[in-house]
Amino acid sequence: MKDHLKICVYAICKNESKFIDRWVDSLKDEADCVVVLDTGSTDDSVEKLQSYAPFVTVKQYDYFKELGYFRFDKARNDSLKLVPFDADICAVFDLDQVPRKGWADIVRKKFQEGFKEVRGYIIDHHPDTGVELNRWNSRNVHPNSSHWFWTKIIHEGIEFYKKDSDSMENSVVFCEDFVIDHFPDEKKDRTLYKKLLEYATKEYPKDPYYGIYLGIELSRRYSKEDAANAFRRCLKECDFKDDKDIQYQCYINLGVITNDHEESLDCLLKAKALGYKTRRLYKALADTYENLERYDDAINTLYEAIDTVQNYSGDWKDDKMYFGGYMEDRLSLIYYYHKNDYLKAIECCSQALSKSGNDPRIINNLKFYYDKYLESLVKKGTE
């Protein structure tokens, strides 16, 4: 194998001007070259990318103008065709993604060891605060080969196709130190995204991935009732093919978004029956029990979360915010407001405080509970 494996980063772009400088900076001194397919920018994205030549090469193709339609898989495959023939490794990073320093050394080393695909983490961050929201396993690095294709009109994925004895078995490696930070632009126009999801659910009505992502998109930016209906349709009509992850995601999303508390409980218990134990699920269950005024069940669920899931795994199915005293804080609120148990409220709030890093709100809550407890003692003494 060659001493230096050439890495080419490829990407698609449309109106990403504000991300370009940071993105290119994360690729300089790491990759050997960058190719970008611009799909119809109306800002100065193309000019800004061209200013980084010859490191960055840009080609323009407006799919709506030339073809009358747009598909993410087609655009990805067209951008992959721009990779020079002498590149050994392909890496695809969207312009709102920032691979952490040293990523190229990690990738080259693993390819030198014989691996053909390197995976790591994509970490979603709040665009304003930078706080970590979720993390996902990445599929961003693969060999420069004609056997790799992007599939799916939206929420596209890279796949390996070859009919002979060659395969990817035992050739994929996961590296925890290969991290890509993602800072999504929440102000970006999502109209096309929604339309493509709606089109995809009609073209592939049995595919649960399209159904669930349509539901998520509707729940975040449009109608929550339409989102609930999308999740219901997905659970009723889609073929999950024993994919418990996506089935779990559909159940928990419907369980959280529906206004019907009984439907919520049914969905969340079905998600739990699939074998998942996450604090996100326990929190949603506790919320539903509280809405149904089943306070003992809510309390038991929160204690089960504390005992069963003690540390945040970083898995996309869970949520970091539900650690660090969150469950103990919820317990203190239920004990105070629904059980009138001041001592248990104080006990749980103290535990929450010890895990939260002295959160000012929890400090105030603890003082409040303690004052109420003292008032109750005074009241008892005067009776």
Pairwise pLDDT comparison (78 vs 312), residue with the higher score:
78
pLDDT band at 168 (very low <50, low <70, confident <90, very high): low
With tokens 């339309």, the residue in question is 195
pLDDT band at 169 (very low <50, low <70, confident <90, very high): low
First to last CA, the chain: 88
Rounded-to-integer distance, Cα 6 and Cα 315, Å: 31
| Mean pLDDT for all residues in the chain | 91
CATH class of the 7-182 domain in this structure: alpha beta
- For residue 264, give the nearest of 295, 231, 313 by alpha carbon: 231
- Please, where in the chain does CATH 3.90.550.10 lie? 7-182
Predicted confidence (pLDDT) per residue in 85-123, tens digit? 999 999 999 999 999 999 999 999 999 999 999 999 999
- Please, where in the chain does CATH 1.25.40.10 lie? 191-380
pTM of the model: 0.73
**Which option is the CATH number for 191-380: 1.20.81.30, 3.40.190.10, 1.20.1110.10, 1.25.40.10?**
1.25.40.10
Look up residue 324 and give its two tokens.
């660090």
Look up residue 355 and give its two tokens.
């895990």
- For residue 257, give the nearest of 230, 225, 285, 210 by alpha carbon: 225
